[in-house]
Amino acid sequence: MKFPDLSSLSNPVRLRDLIRQIRSAKTAAEERAVVQKECAYIRDSFRDEDNTWRCRNVAKLLYVSLLGYPAHFGQLECLKLIASPRFTDKRIGYLGAMLLLDERQDIHVMITNSLKNDLNHSNQYITGLALCALGAICSPEMSRDLGDEVERLMKSSNVYLKKKAVLCAVRIIRKVPEQFDIFQNTIRSLLSEKNHGVLLTATALVTEVCQQNTQALHVFRKLVPNLVRILKNLIMSGYSPEHDVSGISDPFLQVHLLRLLRVLGRNDTEASDTMNDILAQVATNTENSKNVGNAILYETVLTIMDIKSESGLRVLAVNILGRFLLNTDKNIRYVALNTLLRVVHADQNAVQRHRATIVECLKDADVSIKRRAMELCFALINSNNIRTMISEMLEFLAICETEFKADCTSNMFLAMDRFAPSRRWHVDQMIKVLTTAGNSVRDDIVSSLISIISLTPELHGYAAHQLYKTIENDITQQPLVQVASWTLGEFGDIFVSGQYKKPENEDNFQISEEKVIRTLEHILNWSISTVITREYAINALMKLSTRFPNYTNRIQSVMAHYGCNMNLELQTRAVEYASLFTAHNDIRANIVERMPILINNQTNNGEQAEPVDGSMEQPSLIETSDDVPGTEANIFDILNDPIQTNGNLFDLDGDNHNTIPAMIALDKNGLSLTFTFERQDTTLTITSTATNSTPYNITNFVFKAAVPKTFHIELYPANSTTIPANKAGELRQEMKVSNPNREKLRMRIKLSYVLNTNSMSEEMELNAFPEQCYK
């Protein structure tokens, strides 16, 4: 396609013609050619001070800027258009200023003078343009210079200018909160206006002021009765075609008033009592058959749950969300689940009444709804419903998509770790979880279940029984096989001898030593088994070499065979183990003796744990980052073999587990982030614990971390997205950092969260990690 030489035309092409040419370009190169030619012409025109077509050229430049091409060279031309006496020039000039101006001080000084002149212009539309531009681009300096002009226009009798001036004041308050002193007296009078547009902008301004200024919050709490009266008049007023939307009077103003009441009533009993009645009235009288009514009900619920409202009113709010869950609109159901997830900590009993409906949402075809329902189900689990809810979640785990399985299994383990009625039930359910989830299980679940079994001596034989029965005919589920291999290696002799409390109705279940050995050999030799699973199996066989003395020669043959395996990990283990049958046979029994019971003196709540007896209160989750627990660390000291350079294979209690001091990563705005560490050779497991000392819940918490290219980081999901207020709970998240070169650790973290309806973010670089993390 050929395009005319634009630079040769006496009159520039019109904007619509330029748009047509750009859209007709078939390739990106053709588009760039058109844009470059036009920009060259515009530059020449600006250089020649062509006033005739300046407005048209700036308009085209704005379109080019929207496409992503550089257009900064048009900044000064925008200022010239703003200085023009013509309205059409000013309109394009102000639009260009809002899109193209940067933070350069000299340009801001030049536009400030023009803005001041236009704010005093006799033409209301020119004054309106100036207010719009000031609200969009004002800097702190401009806010201070022009604040008085805006305040004057807020008192104007012209409603058109008054609305724009109030919205401009919102922007000024955001930039310079101390400017509240200028607007304070004027704001009070705005709330007595009859015009709905002015009231709408006034509520937005008061909300912004109260969020920015604690002093203003106390001042405007005295106006709660006035706001209640305005909201009541809206509800009780008859039909008004000017403000009616689907049978509801001015829903936009109602929503803004509810948001303002939420800000004013938070943590204030007197203000909350004043608005309780009107909130109940809105909640019961608003029609919910249309989306307009649902929007008002949603804001009402948020306000009720955020202020110090009566318990009956809170139940009413949760019931509204329960009705939302029955709506056929997927968006409304999602909003209901998301909101219930935010308020469940405030009134769990009220949310529990809708548990059946929430569980039913797990069957929804929409992935977003399903995920929110899953998170809410876990938030509802307590000691009273743990059995029922785990059963429901097992059904969900069996049919859910693969992307849900890892999160679901981790959360199920955390819930059972906290609320399980007995250890035996805990082990039984976790075996079902591993059986149902298949290979979609995180590594920490394997090590954690092993810890639970180790902690409970009376379940050693029972756990081996249940696990063997599960994998006897199916070894495809690798995490389950790993737990079973470790348990059989440690407690296979208890299992075979029958010296434990057997499951009911299974008295005739008999197993021989040969079957256990054959099963482990099958796991070890099966081509589909992962390397980690084989490591568990070869360790288990080595353990049984002393527990099953009749099969010592057979196990020795297995070790000799795998001493030539192509996989270095398996080969190293096999060679080390083979030497225990020959040169060090006299100490083999001591080396592979049963692991001592893991002792943990702390429960999840930081209290002293009771003795291991299957009671309600469970010890906190013990996580080992070692691939295959089960063999003592001093094996290499005893063997003194050259191959001990790979000693980390069996290191469970060597220097890798030395205590590493905790580290405070962040302590700001009431949010505290603490790192605790556990190191296993070159892999560092970091547990991030976040607490919140503010009086407001922190919601939508997201933690991100990055490390230099020579490291590798794996970040696991957090146990929640909400950090309860007043340090009533904590949010925990784990990450694993691989540091093969043992370099000094550096990390960049980024946090985002919502605190008191304000979106917050923090980003920083951490380079003061304890030396034990990498040396």
Determine the Cα–Cα distance for residues 117 and 120; give it in Å rounded to an integer: 5
3-state secondary structure of 89: helix
Residues 554, 481 within the same domain: yes
Q: Is the pLDDT of residue 660 over 90?
A: no
Determine the Cα–Cα distance for residues 300 and 257; give it in Å rounded to an integer: 10
For residue 395, what are its two tokens? 């059904």
Please name the residue that has the structure tokens 């009911």: 504
Per-residue pLDDT of 337-396, as tens digits, reads: 989 988 887 788 888 999 999 999 999 888 999 999 999 999 999 999 999 999 999 999
Residues 466, 393 within the same domain: yes
Domain boundary among 591, 623, 649: 649
- b/e sequence 118-128, b meaning 16+ C-beta within 10 Å: bbeeeeeebbb
Q: How far is CA 337 from CA 355, 379, 388, 470, 681, in A?
A: 11, 12, 20, 36, 43
Residues 506, 563 within the same domain: yes
3-state secondary structure of 31: helix
Cβ atoms of 735 and 716 within 8 Å: the answer is yes
Residue 349 has what pLDDT?
A: 86
The total of other beta-carbon atoms located within 10 Å of residue 689's CB is 15
Of the candidates 245, 208, 254, 252, the one whose C-alpha atom is nearest the C-alpha of residue 227 is 254
Please name the residue that has the structure tokens 């009402």: 300
Plot region of 745 (φ>0 → left; ψ -120 to 50 → alpha; else → beta): beta
| 193 — pLDDT class (breaks 50, 70, 90) | confident
Q: Does some domain include residue 411?
A: yes
| 104 — pLDDT class (breaks 50, 70, 90) | low
Of the candidates 554, 157, 200, 603, the one whose C-alpha atom is nearest the C-alpha of residue 418 is 603
Residues 666, 576 within the same domain: no
Give 237-295 as a DSSP string. Answer: ----TTTEETTEE-HHHHHHHHHHHHHHHTT-HHHHHHHHHHHHHHHHHS--SSHHHHH
Residues 551, 424 within the same domain: yes
- Mean pLDDT, range 16-34, rounded to an integer: 91
**What is the 3-class SS of 437-496, one letter each residue?**
HCCCCCHHHHHHHHHHHHHCHHHHHHHHHHHHHHHCCCCCCHHHHHHHHHHHHHHHHHHH
Per-residue pLDDT of 550-565, as tens digits, reads: 888 998 898 999 888 8
Determine the Cα–Cα distance for residues 401 and 417; give it in Å rounded to an integer: 24
Q: Does some domain include residue 634?
A: yes
Which residues on neighbouring strands pair with residue 754, listed in sequence order? 699, 759
| 657 — pLDDT class (breaks 50, 70, 90) | very low
Query: What CATH number did the domain enclosing 644 receive?
Result: 1.25.10.10
Please name the residue that has the structure tokens 């979640």: 393
Q: Is the pLDDT of residue 646 over 50?
A: no
Q: Is the pLDDT of residue 207 over 50?
A: yes
Residues 591, 459 within the same domain: yes
Determine the Cα–Cα distance for residues 414 and 426; give it in Å rounded to an integer: 11
Q: Which domain holds residue 723?
A: 658-773
Question: How many separate domains does the chain show?
Answer: 2
Phi, psi of 68 (to 5 degrees): 100, 5
Of the candidates 435, 447, 514, the one whose C-alpha atom is nearest the C-alpha of residue 476 is 435
Quote the percentage of the chain above a pLDDT of 70: 89
| 773 — pLDDT class (breaks 50, 70, 90) | confident
Residue 627 has what pLDDT?
A: 41
Phi, psi of 402 (to 5 degrees): -60, -35
Per-residue pLDDT of 246-290, as tens digits, reads: 888 889 999 999 999 999 998 889 999 999 999 999 999 888 888
| 102 — pLDDT class (breaks 50, 70, 90) | low
For residue 666, what are its two tokens? 């962040």
Residues 632, 664 within the same domain: no
Who wins on pLDDT, 620 or 681? 681
DSSP structure class, residue 609: P
Residue 103 has what pLDDT?
A: 58
Q: Does some domain include residue 240?
A: no
Q: Does some domain include residue 230?
A: no
Which residues on neighbouring strands pair with residue 752, listed in sequence order? 702, 761
Determine the Cα–Cα distance for residues 100 and 367; give it in Å rounded to an integer: 41
Give CA angle at 705 (703, 709), nearest 5°.
Answer: 165
Determine the Cα–Cα distance for residues 456 and 451; give it in Å rounded to an integer: 9
Determine the Cα–Cα distance for residues 18 and 195; give it in Å rounded to an integer: 43
Q: Does some domain include residue 421?
A: yes
Per-residue pLDDT of 395-447, as tens digits, reads: 999 998 888 888 899 899 989 988 999 999 999 999 999 999 888 888 888 88
Of the candidates 674, 618, 140, the one whose C-alpha atom is nearest the C-alpha of residue 421 is 618
The total of other beta-carbon atoms located within 10 Å of residue 92's CB is 23
Plot region of 726 (φ>0 → left; ψ -120 to 50 → alpha; else → beta): left
Which residues on neighbouring strands pair with residue 698, listed in sequence order? 723, 755
Who wins on pLDDT, 2 or 377? 377
Most confident of 114-128, 501-515, 569-583: 114-128
Q: Is the pLDDT of residue 507 over 70?
A: no
Determine the Cα–Cα distance for residues 257 and 534; give it in Å rounded to an integer: 64
Q: Does some domain include residue 566?
A: yes
Residues 559, 706 within the same domain: no
Query: Across all residues in the chain, what is the average pLDDT?
Result: 83
Residues 522, 611 within the same domain: yes
What pTM was computed for the model? 0.66
Residues 735, 684 within the same domain: yes
Residues 503, 587 within the same domain: yes
Cβ atoms of 592 and 543 within 8 Å: the answer is yes
Domain boundary among 627, 649, 671: 649
- b/e sequence 721-749, b meaning 16+ C-beta within 10 Å: bbbbbeeebbbbbbbbbebeeeeebebeb
Query: What CATH number did the domain enclosing 669 receive?
Result: 2.60.40.1230
Quote the percentage of the chain above a pLDDT of 90: 33
Residues 6+ apart with CB under 8 A from 436: 394, 397, 398
Determine the Cα–Cα distance for residues 73 and 62; give it in Å rounded to an integer: 11
Q: Does some domain include residue 63?
A: no
Per-residue pLDDT of 479-492, as tens digits, reads: 999 999 999 998 88
Determine the Cα–Cα distance for residues 128 and 696; give it in Å rounded to an integer: 39
| 506 — pLDDT class (breaks 50, 70, 90) | low
For residue 418, what are its two tokens? 């906290």
Q: Is the pLDDT of residue 758 over 50?
A: yes
| 211 — pLDDT class (breaks 50, 70, 90) | confident
Q: Does some domain include residue 740?
A: yes
Q: Is the pLDDT of residue 450 over 60?
A: yes
- Mean pLDDT, range 154-183, rounded to an integer: 89
Crossing angle for the helix pair 269-285 and 251-265, nearest 10 degrees?
A: 150
**What is the 3-class SS of 350-396, one letter each residue?**
HHHCCHHHHHHHHHCCCHHHHHHHHHHHHHHCCCCCHHHHHHHHHHH
| 6 — pLDDT class (breaks 50, 70, 90) | very low
| 227 — pLDDT class (breaks 50, 70, 90) | very high
| Stated length of the chain | 775
CA dihedral 405, 407, 408, 409 (to 10 degrees): 80
- Mean pLDDT, range 609-637, rounded to an integer: 35
Residues 592, 695 within the same domain: no
Domain boundary among 649, 673, 705: 649
CA atoms within 13 Å, Cβ hemisphere of 707 = 17
Per-residue pLDDT of 712-751, as tens digits, reads: 898 888 888 889 888 888 899 999 998 888 888 889 898 9
The total of other beta-carbon atoms located within 10 Å of residue 719's CB is 16
Q: Is the pLDDT of residue 201 over 50?
A: yes
